[in-house]
Structure 1
Amino acid sequence: MAPKPPRSRVYVIGVGMTPFLKPNKARDYPGLGLEAGTKALLDAGINYDDVEAGYACYAFGDSTSGQRVFYQFGMTGIPIVNVNNACATGSTGLYLARQSLSLGVADVALVIGFEKMQAGRLEKAFKDRAIPQGLHAEKMFALNPNSEPGNISLFGNAGFEYIKKYDAVEDDLAEIARINHLHSAKNPYSQFRTVYTLDEIKNSQSLFGSITKLQCCPTSDGAAAAVLVSEHWLDQHPELKSKAIEIAGQSIVTDQSDTYGDSSMNLVGYNMSKRATTAALSDAHVSISQVGVCELHDCFAANELITIDALGLCEHGKAGSFVRSGNITHGGRVLVNPSGGLISKGHPLGATGLAQCAELVWQLRGWANNRLAPHTRVALQHNLGLGGAAVVSVYKRADGAENSVARDADIARLAGVGYNPATEVRQVTMEQVRSVLSRRHNNKWARVGGKDEVDLEKRLVARL
């Protein structure tokens, strides 16, 4: 095998997102993408003319929805890649951008994840062709004949298998959900910010056996974005190094034939997550013991239970007692899903990976100062797509230091939006949008003034 070419380090210098809310006809994906992208560019302190590649991440939508979003900033002729990899779509876009920048194809990339979803359970979008998860359904019914169709059975069976095999009980699922809802109360972007007791979660509507509604993620609308730059570019802009966060390690994997379908846990990515974590940690030259904060893919509390184990955050087989001992919240071994996770923050599929990135960037900068995992040097992100793909990313501060609580006054000076975006939500202003639009290649989608400004205002729709 030929040696791999040398790679540049890649850094996140800007992030931004919209609130995640229940599906609403008044909020459309162009406006969502415009808001998140504007915030990320403002955070990075750059103009769209600096962007050399765009990655649009969404699971539901027509094939050039990405161009529809990016053209609002200007038609600059850059390559725009539309990315769809199920629930791992956002992190897959980050992976592709990092690969491109690390190999010198570009120096600045903008990744925007967005989703406009239908209310209720996910349903098959195309009814004249094979179901993408059809093989998973066949394997699920072979392993668990009494299952019901749908993702809740796939993930629920995985959680029940873990409980049967290892040191876990069904109440651990409710406790995981309780902690996520507790964390979300301090995240202004979360779809749900209500704090629930353990009994309230256990006694909410039963959806599959002992799995209740409050243990499951909702359908959501929303967007998130990140600006990535090469080491060469960052060296030319040393003033940004204090808030630059390195993607120090990353891995994307899919199912392997020797484990696929041999257990309910592997059917929903336990083995994928384990392999991706090992590879990403090796790429970053760190161990799992160094991780102080983690955003993981808790589409269901059952998946968080098995993923805690798969990532190596606990001793194998001990995820239940790890949760019961308070190890996944503030003051525990590792702060898991300080954002509230998918369960409480929401899960607009294409935006989820970018929202996880934003939270970890804010954590490592010390900006998430109302929910911080202090004294942290390493953060880990896990994003799963059933069907399947697992993406694990490892983040470090560019200066190698551990994080500490940052003052809001200092954050407001550095953030580019004039306030702390980690703890406060504001909609972008027309002046802010104008400041990031292409100056060289403006067009009727991006031009601001007169009727076009009215149209732009319509795209910046009310959140509710």
Structure 2
Amino acid sequence: MTTLIAGVGMIPFAKPGASAPYDAMGEAAIRLALDDAGIGFEAVEQAYAGYVYGDSTSGQRVIYRVGMTGIPIVNVNNNCSSGSTALFLARQAVESGVADCVLAVGFEQMTPGALGAVFTDRPSPLGEFDAVTDALIGASDLPMTLKYFGGAGKAHMDRHGTRLETFAAIRAKASRHGARNPLSVFRREMSVEEVMNAQTIWPGVMTRPMACPPTCGAAAALVVSEDFARRNGLDATVRIRAQAMTTDRPGSFDSRDMIEVVGADLTRKAARKVYEAAGIGPEDIDVIELHDCFAQNELITYEGLGLCGEGAGEALVMDGDNTYGGRYVTNPSGGLLSKGHPLGATGLAQCYELTQQLRGRAGDRQVEGARLALQHNLGLGGAAVVTLYEAGA
């Protein structure tokens, strides 16, 4: 059964301490999505709520502010891919015929500083990731996500000769794109030189602007069947043509490779499933929102998605093939690096951006003639979700 994105909503992202509470943010995003679709909450048959830093049933707290209709509400926590996992579940419910109109919402109220464990009195779900990372790069006091993705970036540099300036160019590109997005937390353009000269957080590997900031925000999407859209006169412009979700295999650890530790194989396999299901190749994609939690991961993801060959990510950047006028426009929203990264909201913020691109309503950041859009959202621990959207006739 064809699944459509009938409505999307997103609020401006903000720095920790500068946002409304999570329940108000989530409510606002849902109401925007309902208004965008032109339907009332009573039409929603199921809901999936993605978040990481919140107590159980936070999804109910958010959704009850919009309506209390007794529908199933499922709370989803898959680290940074929580939002796209909620979307994955919503799409499955509609595609299987279980429901005709399903809400996916993601929200996060974050605190300043690097991510860390909340429950320290029990085994960490990232324990194996930590053990392999410490064995490969050595134990250090660096924050865990910096060790993971900085270590992967260093592995790419050591293996392929990738320069630090290339990661700086990715960050500078993100700032140019984010400057066009009124919903981004950072809207100031940065030059490559400015990124290079910023505070070093791992000598020779990373400067501070290459890491995405902790952010607060919310986004939502309404997934509906084609029949429901037709019966209710809804916008049927954007459909989900293919979607895949993958989790780790033993190679994530056994390969002894930091690039695999941070999910490169998850990305490759999910992307391959999507391309095969849709009968297309990466060369057919017009616009991409991918998981640039660090500039280093954006480059690694170019290769995982098949936008270029292994080791060719630097050439893609230097040739300008990751921005307007090149082969692909990656992260026109500004990505996690400029738009921000409220963990539970990120996957649905990507959906929001790509839906607007395919509708031709992205304003100053519109990718001309966009017909096929690819979304990549990654959470360590781990899960990757790749979604292909298509603009209808």
TM range, smaller chain: over 0.9
* Aligned-pair CA distance for 1:63: 0.6
Q: 1:299 aligns with which of 289, 293, 301?
A: 293
Distance in structure 2 (CA, Å) of the matches to 1:29 and 1:259: 33
SS in 2 for 1:23: coil
Q: 2:92 aligns with which of 99, 102, 115?
A: 99
1:217 aligns to what? Answer: 212
- Cα deviation digits, residues 319-355 of structure 1 (max 9, x gap): 0011011111110110000000001110000000000
* Aligned-pair CA distance for 1:144: 1.5
Residue 261 to residue 149, structure 1, CA distance change in 2 (3 Å): farther
- Contact in 1 for aligned 2:115/2:143 (Cα 8 Å): no
SS in 1 for 2:26: helix
Structure-to-structure mapping, 1:111-260, within 5 angstroms: 111-145=104-138, 147=140, 148-166=142-160, 168-210=162-204, 211-238=206-233, 240-241=235-236, 244-260=237-253
TM-score after normalising by structure 2: 0.97
Unpaired runs of at least 5, structure 2: none
> Which one has a bigger Cα radius of gyration?
1
1:442 aligns to what? Answer: none
Distance in structure 1 (CA, Å) of the matches to 2:254 and 2:129: 8
SS in 2 for 1:320: helix
Unpaired runs of at least 5, structure 1: 1-7, 400-464
1:45 aligns to what? Answer: 38
2:53 aligns to what? Answer: 60
Distance in structure 1 (CA, Å) of the matches to 2:139 and 2:52: 29
Distance in structure 1 (CA, Å) of the matches to 2:194 and 2:18: 31
- Cα deviation digits, residues 194-241 of structure 1 (max 9, x gap): 101111101111112230111110001100000110122123234522
Distance in structure 1 (CA, Å) of the matches to 2:214 and 2:143: 18
- Contact in 2 for aligned 1:270/1:307 (Cα 8 Å): yes
Structure-to-structure mapping, 1:17-36, within 5 angstroms: 17-24=10-17, 27-36=20-29
SS in 1 for 2:235: helix
TM-score after normalising by structure 1: 0.82
* Aligned-pair CA distance for 1:261: 4.4
Report the number of matched residues. 390
Aligned Cα root-mean-square deviation (Å): 1.3
- Contact in 2 for aligned 1:297/1:382 (Cα 8 Å): yes
* Aligned-pair CA distance for 1:131: 1.8
What is the identity, as a one-letter code, of the residue corresponding to 2:108? E
Residue 280 to residue 204, structure 1, CA distance change in 2 (3 Å): same
Distance in structure 1 (CA, Å) of the matches to 2:75 and 2:181: 29
The farther-off stretch of 248-257 and 227-236 is 227-236
- Contact in 2 for aligned 1:136/1:261 (Cα 8 Å): no
SS in 1 for 2:277: helix
- Contact in 2 for aligned 1:223/1:348 (Cα 8 Å): yes
What is the identity, as a one-letter code, of the residue corresponding to 1:219? P
What is the identity, as a one-letter code, of the residue corresponding to 2:366? L
SS in 2 for 1:383: strand
Residue 369 to residue 198, structure 1, CA distance change in 2 (3 Å): same
